[in-house]
Amino acid sequence: MSADPSVTDVIRDADGCDRCWWCGTHDDYVTYHDQQWGWPVDDDRMLFEKICLEGFQSGLSWLTILRKRENFRKAFGRFDFEKVARFNDATVERLRKDAGIVRHRGKIVSVINNARQAIRLKEKHGSLANFFWQFEPDSDAVVHHRDDVAASTEQSTAMAESLKKAGWTFVGPTTCYAFMQSMGIVNDHLRACHVWEPVDQARRRFVRPTG
């Protein structure tokens, strides 16, 4: 049963909870929405994993990537960028034959390249978290309607430009903003969503990484 989309753009599931429209009623998507999307993260491995998966998502749905996520983790050494940076051409060809992931050569090569750049970024900033969280907006704009959810922002554009300057690939402003939303750098749950308040509280308690 749906709430009035013209008012809130949330959907009411069988459990009686109002959720952001995009998670639909898929169990795995609902779990991701409730337990992961928007909660603040400062773990470098998780941050690297997510920005890589956002790159793989380009042109696809996030649900497709989500359902292959464990396969991606196995294929890319749990996204330990120190390990991924040592992947070579033979690894690329092996991954291109892995039906459990998205077999796009450019995106596979991009993850390996970005792992090497991540090492340099960590050396420069102390951690990936230090780098990524510097792009957090000064204040959250509370989102009430789905049409108000941005595809990119000034901050995501700045992040993308900084990453590209550092040699990263598949990191455009839209990809970076999707990353910011998922890692809790912004809280883009709709205000009527039952997760908005706990995520807001978690972000208030969260100790921002500093260089």
Whole-angstrom distance, CA of residue 102 vs CA of residue 108? 8
Percent of the chain topping pLDDT 90: 85
Closest CA to 153 of 169, 182, 173, 133: 173
Cβ(127)–Cβ(44) under 8 Å?
A: yes
Residue 4: the pLDDT is: 44
Closest CA to 60 of 202, 68, 38, 122: 68
Active-site residue, selected from the candidate residues 32, 39, 136, 161: 32
Cβ(126)–Cβ(118) under 8 Å?
A: no
- Is 62 labeled as catalytic in the residue annotation? yes
Domains recognised in the chain with CATH numbers = 10-205 (1.10.340.30)
CB atoms within 10 A of CB 199: 19
Residue 19 vs residues 55, 89, 134: alpha-carbon distances, Å? 25, 43, 29
Q: Which amino acid is at 202?
A: A
What pLDDT, in 10s, does the model give residues 19-39?
A: 999 988 889 999 999 999 999
Residue 19 phi/psi, 5-degree rounding, is -130, 160
- Is 54 labeled as catalytic in the residue annotation? yes
Active-site residue, selected from the candidate residues 54, 168, 177, 196: 54
What pLDDT, in 10s, does the model give residues 135-179?
A: 999 987 899 999 889 999 999 999 999 999 999 999 999 999 999
Active-site residue, selected from the candidate residues 29, 37, 62, 168: 62
- Is 161 labeled as catalytic in the residue annotation? no
